[in-house]
Structure 1
Amino acid sequence: MSDHDDIKHPPTSSEPLARAIGSRYLTYALSTIMHRALPDARDGLKPVHRRILFAMRELKLSSTGGFRKSAKISGDVMGNYHPHGDAAIYDAMARLAQDFAMRYPLVDGQGNFGNIDGDSPAASRYTEARMAAPAEALLEGLAEDAVDFRPNYDGTLSEPVVLPAAFPNLLANGASGIAVGMATNIPPHNLDELIEGCLAMIRTPEIDDTALVDLIPGPDFPTGGILVEPRENILDAYRTGRGAFRLRARWTKEDLGRGNWQIVVTEIPYQVQKSKLIERLAELIEAKKVPALADVRDESADDVRIVLEPRARTVDPEQLMGMLFRNSELEVRFSLNMNVLIDGTVPKVCSLKEVLRAFLDHRRDVLCRRSQHRLDQIAKRLEILEGYIVAYLNLDRVIEIIRHEDEPKQALMAEPWPVEGATAWLTEAQAEAILNMRLRSLRRLEEMELRAERDGLMTERDGLEALLASEKAQWKTISTELGAVRKAFGKATAIGRRRTDFAEAGEVVEVPIEAMIEREPITVIVSKMGWVRAMKGTQPLDAEVKFKDGDGPAFALHAETTDRIVLMGSNGRAWTVLGAALPGGRGMGDPLRLMVDIPNEVEITHVVVPKPGEKYLLASSEGDGFVAPAEELIAQTRAGKQVLNMREGIRTAVFRPVSGDSVACVGENRKMLVFALDELPEMARGKGVRLQKFKDGGLADAITFARAEGLSWKDPAGRTRTESDLSEWLGKRATAGRMAPRGFPRDNRFTG
């Protein structure tokens, strides 16, 4: 008998894999949506944030009290309410303390809680925290049965399902999260404006979205900035619950005297890390993508101060910033997706009005529950007070019963007590209270105080009953409570002033990059291996220049920093680089393939500087070609643009500026043909038409010239030779031509 035969195995069951995976994944998805990623519309919190604040309340960490170690707080949260990693809890708590992340921080931190550069907070053993005043406003009423409680994860304690929330925290501080199949992203808003919107909804429940957006014009980010989204887009976003807001950095032009100036950025967009932004701006300078920007410096201390230096004083600051807005995180789009849990159970994409309505309904529920709780307390207290009054009116008999009866409690309850012409019977609670009364309370003044307290409580009870019976009175009380919050955190306070301003983006004027660059002469040198550099000034094209081992000169030409230089590849594709973007001539330069996307197998065959109004002759080695305007050769992207279409195995043979009225072409078979230029079509892109017919080989070279001036070339001795009588080689396009004149170069190339 095996040692394991007596082991009882649990019963097994089978089910289809799709159903098993589906049910388990849905359970996981529901848990993520409900308990991790989406905030509650009522208090604007996720469970981890709610548990952090509740644990701090249990630790009595008020906004005016002392601090406790963050490790203690996160440990209590983890041990009592949130059985997840302490690092995740501490990160969540640290974010609640960051004034650059939270519009109204809920935690008051002491120590290093991170910064706008993106640095992480110090370890939890080094930092301390307590609740901030806005957090206390969220928790106010927990002891008055304002909300439901539920058992914690192990059933030993209880925690609130939702907080009473004295202000609309969901919109005030915003929220973001990614669940399973859904996400949320809500920007922060100004609390004063939110309360104004709530009061308007209380006055006019049917208020339309337009009137509501007049009161709540847009987000108010903790890092400030300028909102440049058109109002109609903001209105549509708030009406549907989905949209986006364009947010720009705040900047000013700082005069340095003598015509010099610099730009100072004092506020950056929300959730943009300053260090990453500086790196991005430095990359733009290095890559010369914004040639008008010369330097960037971070002079920030407690506040943000990023200095941008222009390359020349003639640069327009508005145009420079426009280019930076398009190419860096100085402008961002903050998306709005108001996907929240309604009543803590149903995820829904809500409009601004729906979110505020959920908050107001919650506040009414909290008010009614707190009022009912107070009524219950008053009823219990009145019962005790009535018993005390009976005891005072019959004090001698009460003392006698207590002294002589074995069961004084039962005797007190069985005795009929004469009170003001009537008979009263004590309840168990009243009898217990009388027996627990101290001897020092037995004085005449106490009876008067008890009667006064009873009258006051009865008046308060009547007021609470009237409140619970009148919806109008309830909304009036809610308005008063919101007014008190507004007084504490509104626009009259330092924390409540609006930080994000509104402006129009203005019409985007496309300014040519050349207009932003100082115009200077340069000498462009391209090596055989595709390395490029730009020497300052107009250097001799045959000057001796150093190259890397195994490399040598390929092209040299004169240009200017404002020129767009076209590189023609052997595959008929053209790439464009800006003269100002080329590396300087001190070293060996940089590979062209770092600037534009030239495939490794493609060779650069021609380098030209096309001028506006010029035309160029393009032809393939197969003998097909056409005339292209200079403007059509400029590529706008790194990928370049296809100009000359060719089949595989054919390469670009000719790329020359057009002048004159005739075309001369010569084949690899040394036959030359001259025909009229107007026989070639003008195109932006294509294969073109046949220039010359070849029995074998292909096109070697082609050139345009004025027939009246004759055709010139250099003979082997380097002397310029001109052939005036070209009648022997004249013909129609696409004919074979005749052997080239005596003395024509052996490499079959025109050099004139």
Structure 2
Amino acid sequence: MGQPFEPPSGSDGIESVELKSALEDRYLAYALSTIMHRALPDARDGLKPVHRRILFAMRLLKLDPTSAFKKCARIVGDVIGKYHPHGDTAAYDALVRMAQDFAQRYPLVDGQGNFGNIDGDNAAAQRYTEARMTEVARLLLEGLDDDSVDFRPNYDGQEEEPVVLPAAFPNLLANGSQGIAVGMATSIPPHNAAELCDAALYLITHPEATSAQLLTFVKGPDFPTGGILIDSADSITEAYRTGRGGFRVRARWTKEDLGRGTWTIVVTEIPYGVQKARLIEKLAELLQERKLPLLADVRDESAEDVRIVLEPRARNVDPVILMESLFRLTELEARISLNMNVLVGGLVPRVIGLAEALREWLDHRRVVLQRRSRHRLGQIDRRLEILGGLLIVYLDLDEVIRIIREEDEPKTALMKRFELTEVQANAILDTRLRALRKLEEMELKREFDALTKEKQGIEDLLGSDKLQWADITKQIRTVKKTFGPDTKIGARRTTLENPPDTAGIDFTSAMVEREPITVIVSAKGWIRALKGHVADLSGVAFKGDDSLKIAFPSETTAKLLVLASNGKVFTLEAAKLPGGRGFGDPIRLMVDFDDGTEIVAALPYQPGTKLLVAASDGRGFIAPADALVANTRKGKGIIGLDEPATAALLVPAQGDHVAVCSADRLLLVFPLAEMPELVRGKGVRLQRCRQTTLTDACVFTLAEGLPWRETGGEARLASASVLEKWMGHRSDAGTLMTRSFPKFERFGK
């Protein structure tokens, strides 16, 4: 290793900085900038700096809701030139989103031209579109000239911009916000403004109210695209209490009868944030891949409103099952996250709940009220001072006129003669001759009295918390009336409903087209599914020296139970098995097999049935098939094993007797009633296997006989009279197979 680096002396002002500390300092500065000035909204006005600067620039351009539109290029130019030193694309994209009624619950910009659509198409270029502010934006800016908020210098110090807007509208929750900062993010869905106003009014009268209590008024998110909220009340309450959670939103649909028993489903509202074109594309893709067997066709008949037509495969399809299968596979159901991470006081990023979010807004409104009141008080005092001087003029007009005509310094003489301030003297000197009528004196007295009364009212307001909250209550009620539930923009669009009960529906079969298959498992653990029920498997090819181990008929909608030698049962979906054109795939890729384990048995799962599970040492038990289904790749441990025993058998348990056979051809038949039914465990001894192992077992009905196969594959049946010699009790050793089973290979048909 060499010596540590030392900078040369006299390095002309070059400073050596450790790389680690330099990176830390610079990344911290970048992170703080992203958090404070880009990604997180202010809790008070619910705006990020770019949105605040756009609205402020539009206000300076006098783009009020009633004024004429101006080109967006002009607005964007002012924003990036004066306040937001970033690219015009960033500013224009923010402006476009503020105008989209499918993205903003209460748009802040009234756009004219192509501002994009719900399909995901982009807006036209800024030189083609025009904009002005909406009533919501006007409310956010109301009182900006009355010293209601602080201003700060812009990036080059040539202009000033507001630190926060007065925000007479609960914008943070009403319009929501999305943003990704460094190490933190925010995701606030839109809400109904009238409900927020009701909750705020309750919070004013009950300052200690909790988020759970405020949910009496705020039912949940209210998305501009509507939809149905299907979360439980408990999960909604917890999400708003902590400020973190999520909401499941579904598309709104109706069944439309076409006559003669035919019908279609019409989707009229899709979840918030989902692009309609992408949704249709996904539906068409699933149709093509035959993953939607209940659906025949999908059509987009949307014009101004959303209208997606879903055509069922047959008229006897249950529309609820069809839609539930679509909700599981497509964006017709979406999860909207809630992470109310905002800048509290404009400085501290923190996750807050519903109550604290509303309290931040109310406290800000109180500060705005106080600052506006003090500003107005200053204006009144200045006006009263001037009026006091003007009224003195009317007491001795002739003397005032004489002083003005004859004195070299009339202002000084007036101030000395009538004991006036400089402001009053200037006001007198600026008075026009026509204002010296008697009528004007009466007007001045009336104005003086009115301003004196208003001043007293403002001083009373500033001295009383009760009066301040009463004034804020009045303001909020006005906002609620403007955006009330009986108005077009204020009516709730997202409804809360409980999803249909689907506990008894098998969605695996509903979402897969039912077709017959033959499942093939090789000796080395490769699995595949041949189309149809193939009886002759002599032509099936295997890889290398691999060979056939297990084969059985099934359907694409079935689940398969696979028993491994370590006693675990794994569950596979037949629809996900590879096709029969190749050699298949190793089962190890589908489930988590332990090293050294092998597949010993596989069969289709049939709900409600029972299965016989046994180990090579002759122990086993009857298990309900439902208890063997595993929902994860790790499988489910079913049978306990003592070394060196391994799991050996998994066969259906339908009948009244059990036949077991050991490796040395000892056969035992005993009543099924002697076996216990367990969910898991070691079980009981089926056959005494001291020097041998259990190789096969079968549960059958004695009256029908015991089915078995010869080495050549020919099916045989042993009647009750033939089996009398081998009848016994569980745990017996059994009797050697004689001429009754000359070429026995295995049990079963």
Distance in 1 between residues matched to 2:357 and 2:514, nearest whole Å = 59
Residue in 2 aligned with 1:462?
Answer: 453
1:452 aligns with 2:443: yes
Residue in 1 aligned with 2:471?
Answer: 477
Residue in 1 aligned with 2:92?
Answer: 90
Residue in 2 aligned with 1:169?
Answer: 171
Q: Percent identity?
A: 49
Distance in 2 between residues matched to 1:396 and 1:192, nearest whole Å = 61
Residue in 2 aligned with 1:420?
Answer: none
Residue in 2 aligned with 1:8?
Answer: 12
Residues 1:436 and 1:25: Cα distance change in structure 2 (over 3 Å): same
Distance in 2 between residues matched to 1:595 and 1:44, nearest whole Å = 52
Amino acid at match of 2:475: E
Contact 2:414 2:425 (8 Å CA) reproduced: no
Amino acid at match of 1:9: G
Distance in 2 between residues matched to 1:489 and 1:144, nearest whole Å = 25
Distance in 2 between residues matched to 1:9 and 1:519, nearest whole Å = 76
Residues 1:399 and 1:646: Cα distance change in structure 2 (over 3 Å): same
1:663 aligns with 2:659: yes
Contact 1:570 1:651 (8 Å CA) reproduced: yes
The offset of 1:43, in angstroms, is: 1.6
Distance in 1 between residues matched to 2:238 and 2:715, nearest whole Å = 76
SS at match of 1:153: coil
Contact 2:621 2:678 (8 Å CA) reproduced: yes
SS at match of 1:49: helix
Residue in 2 aligned with 1:424?
Answer: 418
Cα displacement string for residues 397-443 of structure 1 (whole angstroms, at most 9, x for unaligned residues): 777776777xx5x33322478xxxxx524543445455556xxx432
The offset of 1:188, in angstroms, is: 2.2
Residues 1:719 and 1:193: Cα distance change in structure 2 (over 3 Å): closer
Residue in 1 aligned with 2:306?
Answer: 304
The CA RMSD over aligned residues, in Å, is 5.0
Cα displacement string for residues 376-413 of structure 1 (whole angstroms, at most 9, x for unaligned residues): 333334444555566678777777776777xx5x3332
Distance in 2 between residues matched to 1:706 and 1:509, nearest whole Å = 34
Distance in 1 between residues matched to 2:742 and 2:185, nearest whole Å = 74
Residues 1:416 and 1:618: Cα distance change in structure 2 (over 3 Å): closer
Distance in 2 between residues matched to 1:664 and 1:357, nearest whole Å = 75
Contact 1:378 1:457 (8 Å CA) reproduced: no
Distance in 1 between residues matched to 2:56 and 2:101, nearest whole Å = 21
1:494 aligns with 2:488: yes
Residues 1:377 and 1:673: Cα distance change in structure 2 (over 3 Å): same
Distance in 2 between residues matched to 1:702 and 1:233, nearest whole Å = 50
Cα displacement string for residues 155-210 of structure 1 (whole angstroms, at most 9, x for unaligned residues): 22111121111122222222344455554443322222223333444456566766
Which one of the candidate residues 537, 541, 551 is aligned to 2:535?
A: 541
Residues 1:453 and 1:276: Cα distance change in structure 2 (over 3 Å): farther
Amino acid at match of 2:410: A
Residues 1:174 and 1:365: Cα distance change in structure 2 (over 3 Å): same
Distance in 1 between residues matched to 2:109 and 2:622, nearest whole Å = 71
SS at match of 1:376: helix
1:676 aligns with 2:669: yes
The offset of 1:250, in angstroms, is: 2.2
Distance in 2 between residues matched to 1:343 and 1:715, nearest whole Å = 85
Residues 1:180 and 1:71: Cα distance change in structure 2 (over 3 Å): same
More off after superposition, 606-615 vs 721-730: 721-730
More off after superposition, 680-689 vs 293-302: 680-689
Q: Equivalent residues in 2 for 1:313-392 (5 A)?
A: 313-322=315-324, 324-325=326-327, 328-385=330-387
Q: Which runs of 5+ in 1 are unaligned?
A: 418-422
Distance in 1 between residues matched to 2:244 and 2:712, nearest whole Å = 75
Aligned length: 726
The offset of 1:496, in angstroms, is: 1.3
Contact 1:467 1:474 (8 Å CA) reproduced: no
Cα displacement string for residues 435-463 of structure 1 (whole angstroms, at most 9, x for unaligned residues): 556xxx43267663365145325413421
SS at match of 2:224: coil
Residue in 1 aligned with 2:528?
Answer: 531
More off after superposition, 192-201 vs 40-49: 192-201
Contact 1:693 1:736 (8 Å CA) reproduced: no
Residue in 1 aligned with 2:75?
Answer: 73
More off after superposition, 671-680 vs 148-157: 671-680
The offset of 1:135, in angstroms, is: 0.6
Cα displacement string for residues 517-550 of structure 1 (whole angstroms, at most 9, x for unaligned residues): 9997835464866432443xxx673499999999
Cα displacement string for residues 439-495 of structure 1 (whole angstroms, at most 9, x for unaligned residues): xx4326766336514532541342133223233444443333334333433334311
Contact 1:611 1:630 (8 Å CA) reproduced: yes
The offset of 1:248, in angstroms, is: 3.3
Cα displacement string for residues 124-158 of structure 1 (whole angstroms, at most 9, x for unaligned residues): 45543322221111111111212111122222211
Amino acid at match of 1:462: K
Residues 1:445 and 1:522: Cα distance change in structure 2 (over 3 Å): same
Contact 1:62 1:131 (8 Å CA) reproduced: yes
Amino acid at match of 1:503: E
Amino acid at match of 1:663: A
Distance in 2 between residues matched to 1:250 and 1:302, nearest whole Å = 16
Contact 2:327 2:333 (8 Å CA) reproduced: yes
Q: Equivalent residues in 2 for 1:61-140 (5 A)?
A: 61-140=63-142
Contact 1:280 1:328 (8 Å CA) reproduced: yes
The offset of 1:729, in angstroms, is: 8.4
Contact 2:51 2:94 (8 Å CA) reproduced: yes
SS at match of 1:247: strand
Residue in 1 aligned with 2:5?
Answer: none
The offset of 1:33, in angstroms, is: 4.0
Amino acid at match of 1:186: I
Residue in 1 aligned with 2:158?
Answer: 156
State the TM-score, normalizing by the size of structure 2: 0.78
The offset of 1:23, in angstroms, is: 6.8
The offset of 1:85, in angstroms, is: 4.2
Distance in 1 between residues matched to 2:209 and 2:714, nearest whole Å = 90
Amino acid at match of 2:447: G
SS at match of 2:216: helix
More off after superposition, 632-641 vs 475-484: 632-641
Contact 1:673 1:692 (8 Å CA) reproduced: no
Contact 2:660 2:694 (8 Å CA) reproduced: no
State the TM-score, normalizing by the size of structure 1: 0.78
Q: Equivalent residues in 2 for 1:533-572 (5 A)?
A: 533-535=530-532, 541-542=535-536, 558-559=553-554, 564-566=559-561
Contact 1:567 1:607 (8 Å CA) reproduced: yes
SS at match of 1:462: helix
Residues 1:239 and 1:477: Cα distance change in structure 2 (over 3 Å): same
SS at match of 1:215: coil
Residues 1:713 and 1:101: Cα distance change in structure 2 (over 3 Å): closer
Residue in 2 aligned with 1:413?
Answer: 412
Distance in 2 between residues matched to 1:283 and 1:574, nearest whole Å = 34
The offset of 1:86, in angstroms, is: 3.8
The offset of 1:17, in angstroms, is: 6.3
Residues 1:411 and 1:231: Cα distance change in structure 2 (over 3 Å): same
Distance in 2 between residues matched to 1:36 and 1:336, nearest whole Å = 19
Distance in 2 between residues matched to 1:66 and 1:490, nearest whole Å = 27
More off after superposition, 703-712 vs 100-109: 703-712
